[in-house]
Amino acid sequence: MENKIKVSIVGGSGYVGGELLRILLFHPNVHISQITSEKLNGKPVSKAHPNLRKITQLKFSSSDNLEDCDVLFLCLPHGESMKRIDFFKDKAKKIIDLSSDFRIKDEKIYKEFYEKDHENPSLLKDVVYGIPELHREEIKKSNFVACAGCNATATILALYPLFKNNLVEADKTVVEVKAGSSEVGNSPSAASHHPERSNSVRSFMPTGHRHTAEIVQELSLFSKEKISVHFSATAIDIVRGILVTSHVFLNKDVSEKEIWEIYRKEYGNEPFIRIVKDQDGIYRFPEPKLLVGSNFCDIGFEKAKDSNRLVVISAIDNLMKGAAGQAVQVFNIMNGLKENTGLEFPGLHPI
């Protein structure tokens, strides 16, 4: 344990908490102190995460018995972190929150999308939004980071180079997300019941998705005009993975080669961004299947021949780059570690 960073996970019985635990158990710089679950208090973590049998002897504890640590990961349901944030800040020097509670900087916009008042609005402007590719320098100096939503992560990373380089019409971005079932967590519902969920392609948020607020907030940082994002979400019959198809309209005549060069300029040195655009084969564009268990975001694009439309395609594992993996990437940056520590797994093929 010498020189290791003492870490605890609050709300560890869900899919994200389990994935975070799986990564951190093999992280060379981490000692896991506690992992909490109110409903499984006192039970082995393998009760919720059977893949970790014989990997760890950790048991769940109650968050009421939380001890001091160096870094606290919050994997609580949305709306819970902000209620107890003062308690959590007393327990750890650094906090990484994986819920939506502190992602939105404007409390009015938070209320618009979440339909309730924020319970700790004074903290909103001080929390760093946790996409490293956009906010790495701020994350390095921060003690409180709010990790981005999964759909927002895949969309923002796909479009950031275009908005940063002022290449698109600001009010015409159309985004369609296709998402796996693990995105909604492990609490069962009528929609997740196997006979209802299996073989489905179900539009569940054609408008008004909450991640739209994050996307607009972040892309607006790089646009000289007010932007609009027209966002829709569809559930498909996979467990892990997100595929984002974004339609943007170029405001100047640029070639595909020039677009490629822009993406290479912005992402060439990024450890977890891959530009995928092959001329042949079945994996010419990003495919979530190849990313299961990895922290990569794959991005590809194609320009329409008869218009100024550019289609940008991105894919991530929603539990990794969309949640736990990105949180560990943030953790590494906050603690001055090599960014890909504990995140080297490349995904599987075939699967």
Question: For residues 219 and 161, is the Cβ–Cβ distance under 8 A?
Answer: no
> Which residues are registered as beta bridge partners of 173?
229
CA atoms of 196 and 191, how far apart (whole Å): 6
Question: For residues 48 and 72, is the Cβ–Cβ distance under 8 A?
Answer: no
Sheet order of strands, 273-275 included:
201-205, 229-236, 173-179, 242-249, 309-316, 297-303, 273-275
Active-site residue 150, yes or no? yes
Look up residue 205 and give its DSSP letter: E
Question: For residues 96 and 5, is the Cβ–Cβ distance under 8 A?
Answer: no
H/E element holding 326? helix 325-334
CA atoms of 226 and 252, how far apart (whole Å): 18
- CA 211 to chain CA centroid, nearest Å: 11
H/E element holding 29? none
Please identify which of the residues 69, 75, 147, 150 carries the catalytic annotation: 150
Query: Quick check: helix, strand or coil at residue 24?
Result: helix
CA atoms of 148 and 129, how far apart (whole Å): 7
Which residue's entry shows tokens 């909103």? Answer: 124
**Residue 332, burial from CB neighbour count under 10 angstroms (0-12, 13-18, 19+):** buried
Q: Please name the residue ranges forming H helices in 167-232.
A: 194-197, 211-220
Question: For residues 327 and 73, is the Cβ–Cβ distance under 8 A?
Answer: yes
φ/ψ of residue 304, rounded to 5:
-65, 140
| Catalytic (active-site) positions | 150
